[in-house]
Amino acid sequence: MTKIITPLLLAISLSSFTCAANLESVPLPADFKLSLTVADDYPLVQTGYVAQSVSEVSAFYQKTLGNPDLIKGDSLRRTLFYTLESKKIRISLYTQTTQNYVTEVAIMVSKP
């Protein structure tokens, strides 16, 4: 029984580490405040907010990750789609104009 459990636990711990590492590979703006992280299994999700406009955050990601595969939305709501290291990354930005112009940032990393 121990011969089965040990490799199983090792595989689980390594897959959790890999998931977290993939989420951490997406850069965050300097003023990013974390709200939620789900890094146990795909899709990986991280949400938070920044005190920047959608355009500023979008420019940050285009500077750090390059041009996205696709951009959807406008100046209040925008989603950037990337493919990095064979992972699909979606970065959604939403400005809450009623809450001091805070922009919510939602990052989702999924398997191809």
pLDDT at residue 3 tops 80: no
Domains in the chain and their CATH numbers? 2-110 (3.30.2030)
At 51-73, the pLDDT tens digits run 999 999 999 999 999 999 999 99
DSSP result, the chain: -HHHHHHHHHHHHHHHHHHHHHHHTS---TT-EEEEEE-SSSSEEEEEEESS-HHHHHHHHHHHH-S-SEEEE-SSEEEEEEEETTEEEEEEEEEETTTTTEEEEEEEEE--
The predicted structure's pLDDT at residue 17: 37
The predicted structure's pLDDT at residue 107: 97
Percentage of residues of the chain with pLDDT beyond 70? 79
When pLDDT is averaged across residues 74-78 and rounded to a whole number, the result is 92
When pLDDT is averaged across residues 6-31 and rounded to a whole number, the result is 59
pTM: 0.79
pLDDT at residue 32 tops 80: yes
The predicted structure's pLDDT at residue 47: 96
Q: Which residues of 31-67 are buried (b: 16+ CB within 10 A; e: fewer)?
A: ebeeeeeebeebbbbbebbbebebeebbebbeeebee
